[in-house]
Amino acid sequence: MRLGTKSCAECRRRKVRCVFPPNSSVCHGCSLHQTPCQAQQPRPKDGGRPGHAQAPGLLQSQSVSQLAADNALLRRRVAELEDLISGLCDALEPNDEASSASASGAASSTSASTIASSTNPADINTRAIQVITNLKNHGLLQKDVALSYNFGTAPIDAIPIAALPNLGVAPGSGPPSSLLSPGSLDHESSSSPPDHADKSITAVDAPLISLFRDALLIRETEGELYDDPEDPSMTFLMKESISSFKPPIPDPETLRLILQDSKFFWPIWPTYFFGPDFSNAMHVTSLDVAEAYLSQVLNYSRGVDFCNAILFLTLCIQQLPRHWKRAIISPDISRQVIIDTYIRFALVLLAVEGEASPQAVQCYLLLHKILVNMGRPQRAWMAIRHGISAATVIGLDRLDENASIQNKSLWALTWQSERQLCMMLGFPSAISSLATKDDASMALMLSPPQAVFRRTCVIMGRVIDRNQNSDASPYATTVQLDQDMEELKKTFPPSWAEEYDPSLTMPPIYFQEAAQIFYYSTLKHIHLPYMLKAKTDRRYEHSRLSTMEACRELIKVYLRLRGSPKSESVQCELMDFTMFSSAITLILAILSAPNTEGSLGAVSYYVEEYQLIETLIGELRKTDSILECTVARQSAQVLETLVAASYGTYNVQGDFTLVVPYFGRLRISQGTKPATNGHAATIPSSVSSHNSTLASPSIASTVELSSLPPKQVPGDPFYMSQPANTIEFSSNEFLNTTFSDFDFQMDLTQDWCTIVDTNVQYDWNQLFNGTNNMELR
C-alpha cells in the first residue's frame, strides 16, 4: 500500500480510478462488479512495517511462500472468471450466432469456452461487443440515443483508415471490430450504417466492457494481464531483500540517551521536517515526540522516511563526546564504523526508492552535513548536487510566493550549501543567479546572521564565475567584489564585535560566528590569487593586506567560537580545515611582506600574528581531545612544524614533505649554517616558498633560545650551529589541484604525507631567504 492512496483494494488491484458516489461507502466500480469494497490494508507478509519486525531469514522465507500461495489463488480466480464469462456468453449468445458474428473479421469459434479463453484481442473485442449488443436487445441495458464509438477520444469516423489495425476488412465496409482504447468500442464490421443507432455502445456500458476485457485478456499459464507494465512480485522481493540488510539500530534506552545528549545541537543542523506535509520540525519538538517518531520509523527499514530518520540519527551519534558513557551498538563496533554503515545503507535505499521529492532533498541535506562534519568535502559536494537535481525536478527552484515555507527553506539551504563547497573546491556552480532571487516573504523571516549568510552566498557565485574564467576576468572584477563585501560588512550588528551576552545560548552564538566565518572566507578567496603579486607589483598591495586581514579575522572568530564553553564541542572538521588554510595563507603573506628582512625579521615584525597562530594550534589540539578530529590533529602538527621552520628551529633528519588537500605541496628542508652574531634568535634562515590559493597548514611551537652567546669559531666549546630551514610551497592560483594518489573516500581525514603529486603542474614558486627576502621562480 502506497502512502496517501485513496483507492479501495479492488480498484487498486484492477488499476482503475476509484470513484465514490455521494453518500455511499461503496465505490462505483465495486458496486457495478458486485465485489466487496474494502480499504487497502498492509499485507501480512510485509514484516518490515512498524510493529512487525522479523528476522531477515524468516522474512524472506515467508515472502517466498506467501508469493506461491498468491499465485495459486490467482490461478483459481482466473479459472472462476473464465467459467463465469463462458456461462454468460453461452446464455446470451448461442454457438451458431457466435460463428456468424465473428465471420466477417475474426476467426470463427466452436464453443463459448474457446472464445472466452482466446488470446486474440480482435476475437475478444468482437465477442465482448456481441454480448453487450445482445444484452441491449434483451432490454437488460439502457440504450442511449447518442452515438459514441470512442469514449474520451475522437469519433471513429475521424480516424484515418491507415491508422486502424489490419484485420482483413475492406475499405468502406465500416470500422474493424477492435477496441481503439481501454473502455472504448466501435461498432461491428458486419453492421450496416442504419443499424448503428440501435447497436451503439455508450459510456454507460464501459465498466462492464472493461470487466470482460480484463477477464478475457488473462493468460492461462502465467496468470497476469497482457497490459500489466510491471511485475509487482519482483519489486516487492527486491525491496524486501534490501530491508534484510538493515544495519542494527540502538535499543530504545540507548536511542533516548543519544537524542537527549545531542538535542542541544539540533537547531544548528539542517531543519528536519517530518509529519503530514512537513508540518513538524525536529529541533522544536519535545524529546518524547522525537523519540516516539524515530523509534517507529527506524523499525520500518524502507523508504525515504527511513533514510531521513537514520541520517538524523547518524548526525546525533557523530556529535556525541569522544568518550561517551555507553556503547551505541556493541563495544566491539567503533562509532565511525556505525556511521559509515548507516551512510551506505541510506545511499542504497535512496538509489532504489528515492524518487524526487522534498523528503529526498532533505535526505541529501542531512547527508551533506554529515560528510562536512567528517571532513569529506568532495563526497559532500556530490550529495548536495544530488539534492540540487531532486529539487530541480520537483520545481523547488521555481517556487512562487504561495509556496510553503518548508519548501522555500529546503531550496535556500540546498543552493547555499552548494555554493560554499564549489568555492572551496574550485568547482563550477550548478545554480544560476535567477535561482537565488530574493523572496519578500522569506526575507522578512531571516535573522541578521541568516541575512548576512544569504548575501554572502550570492557573492560566492560571482567569485566562482571569476575563478572559472580567470583569464578573461580583469582585476576590476576583484575590486568590485571587494566593494560589495565592504557594503555587506556595514550590515553587521554592533553586538558581533562585543563579548557574548551571558544569556545567549549555543545556537545564536554558532549562527553569529558561522556567518562571519563564511564572510571572511569569501573575502579571502576574493583576494588570494593576487596576494603574492604585490611583491613585484604595488597595485596588488590592497589584495595582500585584505587577505591577511581576512585570515586574522577568521582565526579570531574561530577562537571565540571554540573558546566559549557553550560551543566548544561543535563538530565540523571542514571548519577546522578552513582555519588551517587561513593560518598557512597568513604565514605566506608574512614571509612575503616587503618591510621585513628574512624569515626571522618577519617573525619579529609580526609578533601578534604568530601569537594568534600559536593560540589556534592550542585550540585545534583541544578540539581533537574533545571530539577526536583527525583534521584538527593533522593541522596542529603541520602548523607546529611550519612555525618552527619559520623561526629557524626545525632540526630533524630528513625533509618534511606532504601534500595538503585543496592547496598544494609543502616541503621543509634543513641544513646547517654557522651563527654570525651573538644571539640564536637573530640568526637568519632562508625560506623558499611556492604558494597556493586554497589552503592550509597551521603553526605553533615553542622556540628555545640559548642563554649563552654562541661563538663564531667552530672549535670553541660554546660554539652552536643554527639550522637554515627551507620552506617550500607549491600550488595554483585559481583552480583546484587534482592529485594522482588521492583517497576520495577519506578525503581530508587521510594521511597527507601519503598523497602523491607526481604529475601535478604548479603555477608559480617563491623563494624567501635572509638576504633578499623572496625570489619568485
pLDDT in tens, 213-230: 555 554 444 444 444 444
**Higher-scoring residue by pLDDT: 737, 277:** 277
At 698 the pLDDT is 33
- Do 759 and 662 lie in one domain? The reply is yes
Residue 632 φ/ψ, nearest 5 degrees: -65, -40
At 650 the pLDDT is 79
Q: Contact, 313 vs 258, CB < 8 A?
A: yes
Q: Contact, 235 vs 330, CB < 8 A?
A: no
Sorted by sequence, the CB contacts under 8 Å of residue 270 that are 6+ apart come out as 362, 365, 366, 368, 369, 413
- Do 35 and 96 lie in one domain? The reply is no
- Do 736 and 620 lie in one domain? The reply is yes
Q: pLDDT category, 92, cuts 50, 70, 90?
A: low
Final residue of a structural domain among 155, 184, 216: 216
Q: pLDDT category, 365, cuts 50, 70, 90?
A: very high
Q: Contact, 444 vs 488, CB < 8 A?
A: no
Number of structural domains in the chain: 3
**464 domain-assigned:** no
**535 domain-assigned:** no
Say which amino acid occupies 607.
V
At 736 the pLDDT is 58
**Higher-scoring residue by pLDDT: 451, 161:** 451
Residues 575, 578, 583, CA angle at the centre, nearest 5°? 130
CA distance 591 to 769: 9
Q: pLDDT category, 233, cuts 50, 70, 90?
A: low
**Higher-scoring residue by pLDDT: 482, 725:** 482
Phi-psi region of 180 (alpha: psi -120 to 50; beta: other; left: phi over 0): alpha
Q: Which of 384, 390, 370, 471 is nearest to 425 (CA)?
A: 384
- Name the average pLDDT for the chain: 75
Say which amino acid occupies 45.
K
Query: Structural domain of residue 104, as residue ranges?
Result: 77-216
- Do 28 and 89 lie in one domain? The reply is no
Cell 603529486 -> residue: 757
pLDDT (tens digit per residue) in 114-129: 434 444 545 655 666 6
Final residue of a structural domain among 162, 197, 216: 216
Average pLDDT over residues 733-761: 79
Collapsed DSSP state (helix, strand, coil) of residue 37:
coil
pTM for the predicted model, two decimal places:
0.67
**Higher-scoring residue by pLDDT: 469, 91:** 469
Q: Torsion over CA of 498, 500, 501 and 506, rounded to 10 degrees?
A: 150
Residues 24, 28, 31, CA angle at the centre, nearest 5°? 85
Q: pLDDT category, 599, cuts 50, 70, 90?
A: low
Question: Does the pLDDT at position 608 exceed 70?
Answer: yes
- Do 744 and 599 lie in one domain? The reply is yes
- Do 729 and 582 lie in one domain? The reply is yes
DSSP structural state of residue 161 = G
**249 domain-assigned:** no
**Higher-scoring residue by pLDDT: 466, 656:** 466
Helix (H) or strand (E) holding 390: helix 377-393
Q: Which of 687, 691, 693, 668 is nearest to 764 (CA)?
A: 691
Question: Does the pLDDT at position 662 exceed 60?
Answer: yes
Sorted by sequence, the CB contacts under 8 Å of residue 538 that are 6+ apart come out as none
**606 domain-assigned:** yes
Phi-psi region of 510 (alpha: psi -120 to 50; beta: other; left: phi over 0): alpha
Question: Does the pLDDT at position 462 exceed 60?
Answer: yes
Pick from 161-170, 562-571, 656-665 the range whose average pLDDT is largest.
Answer: 562-571
Within 555-622, strands assigned E span none
CA distance 468 to 603: 35
Helix (H) or strand (E) holding 467: helix 448-468
CA distance 213 to 179: 10
Q: Contact, 249 vs 342, CB < 8 A?
A: no
pLDDT more than 90, % of the chain: 41
Which of 154-168, 290-304, 361-375, 663-677 shows the lowest mean pLDDT across its residues? Answer: 154-168
- Do 155 and 15 lie in one domain? The reply is no
- Do 616 and 748 lie in one domain? The reply is yes
Residues 532, 535, 537, CA angle at the centre, nearest 5°? 100
At 204 the pLDDT is 47
In the sheet that holds 766-768, the strands lie side by side as: 687-689, 766-768, 775-776
At 254 the pLDDT is 96
**448 domain-assigned:** no
**Higher-scoring residue by pLDDT: 151, 413:** 413
Sorted by sequence, the CB contacts under 8 Å of residue 437 that are 6+ apart come out as none
Question: Does the pLDDT at position 212 exceed 70?
Answer: no
Question: Does the pLDDT at position 450 exceed 50?
Answer: yes
Average pLDDT over residues 379-385: 97
At 509 the pLDDT is 96
Question: Does the pLDDT at position 745 exceed 50?
Answer: yes
Final residue of a structural domain among 216, 249, 283: 216
Other C-beta atoms closer than 10 Å to the C-beta of 592 total 23
**457 domain-assigned:** no
- Do 89 and 36 lie in one domain? The reply is no
**465 domain-assigned:** no
Q: Contact, 733 vs 766, CB < 8 A?
A: no
At 557 the pLDDT is 97
Average pLDDT over residues 172-188: 37
Average pLDDT over residues 190-216: 49
**495 domain-assigned:** no
At 661 the pLDDT is 86
CA distance 298 to 316: 14
At 516 the pLDDT is 97
CA distance 270 to 412: 11
Say which amino acid occupies 447.
S
pLDDT (tens digit per residue) in 389-430: 999 999 999 998 889 999 999 999 999 999 999 999 999 999
- Do 725 and 613 lie in one domain? The reply is yes
Q: pLDDT category, 20, cuts 50, 70, 90?
A: confident
Q: Contact, 681 vs 598, CB < 8 A?
A: no
- Do 160 and 26 lie in one domain? The reply is no
Question: Does the pLDDT at position 150 exceed 70?
Answer: no
At 369 the pLDDT is 98
Q: Contact, 648 vs 724, CB < 8 A?
A: yes
**Higher-scoring residue by pLDDT: 242, 619:** 619
Pick from 142-156, 561-575, 663-677 the range whose average pLDDT is largest.
Answer: 561-575
Task: Give the three cell numbers for residue 612.
Answer: 594568534
CA distance 11 to 5: 11
> Burial of 135 by CB count in 10 Å (0-12 exposed, 13-18 middle, 19+ buried)?
middle
- Do 174 and 31 lie in one domain? The reply is no
Sorted by sequence, the CB contacts under 8 Å of residue 430 that are 6+ apart come out as 385, 388, 418
What DSSP assignment string belongs to 488-552? HHTTS-GGGGSPPPTT--HHHHHHHHHHHHHHHHHHHHHHGGGTGGGGT-GGGHHHHHHHHHHHH
At 451 the pLDDT is 95
Sorted by sequence, the CB contacts under 8 Å of residue 544 that are 6+ apart come out as 527, 530, 531, 532, 534, 589, 592
